Amino acid sequence: MRAFRTPEEGEKYLDRILVCCKDVSAAIRRLLFLLIVCMVAFGLINLAAVDKITITFIEIKDPTSVGTFLPVVVAYLGYQLVRQMLYWRSLERTFTAAISVVQPGVSENQLVSYLIPSIPLFTNRYPRGAAFENVFSFQQRIESLFAVSFAFALPLFQVYAFSQLLDRIAGPTPAFVVALCMATILTIAYIVAIIIPTLNTIHWYFYNILVREESSVRQRFLALRRRILRAGGP
């Protein structure tokens, strides 16, 4: 059964996926920018570097009240950032599968990565022998290291933020308790959203190495097993 009734239908489907990829890519950049701004803003408020906060015509003379809920905003933005990245990855895989049907030449020549817009922390995979391959490979390593560090930094930021808030106030206020509960729930959701695809990736990595029929490790193990059985036979 054909995937698309006409080539034009397949082209329109690819265009829709690319539009979604561009929208998600822009959303990820905005979320990352807002996340960094909120973390820096909390640091400034915690150090008492600002006496008041002015947003357009609104003036807040007690920055501590804003600082109490900034960790909640950071937790929410971090969770949304992970969700958007996972959505972008699913769009990338869908586009790769669809273009192998609509334009098999592009897929066979490993040119798909040049069509999909890149996003921060997830550099597109370029084929071997591509121009500036070493530069792109180095960029991928740096972004992977930054992504892992940033992923661990967000839960640590929550611990740091609420410990600092608890030191600044006389005791747990209702606002503090509410903010702590909301941030905890969002942080748990954030960690789960990271752990599940990570475990899935590790599972398939070891499956492809040890279990898959075409795996070189599996072939060597079976060959060694046959050799041992022949040597021990009559």
Three-state secondary structure of 53-122: EEECCEEECCHHHHHHHHHHHHHHHHHHHHHHHHHHHHHHHHHHHHHHHHCHHHHHCCCHHHCCCCECCE
Domain boundaries, the chain: 7-232
pLDDT at 187 over 80: yes
Report pLDDT for 15.
87
Both tokens of 5, joined, read: 């009734």
The residue among 77 and 3 whose pLDDT is bigger is 77
Cβ–Cβ < 8 Å for 121, 89:
no
What mean pLDDT value characterizes the chain? 76
Query: β-pairing, 58-60 with 53-55?
Result: antiparallel
Cβ–Cβ < 8 Å for 157, 74:
yes
Alpha helices in 118-173 (DSSP H): 133-168
pLDDT at 128 over 80: no
The per-residue pLDDT for range 139-184, each reduced to its tens digit, is 777 777 777 788 888 889 998 888 888 877 766 788 888 988 999 9
- The pTM assigned to this predicted structure is 0.75
Both tokens of 184, joined, read: 């905890």
The residue among 130 and 180 whose pLDDT is bigger is 180
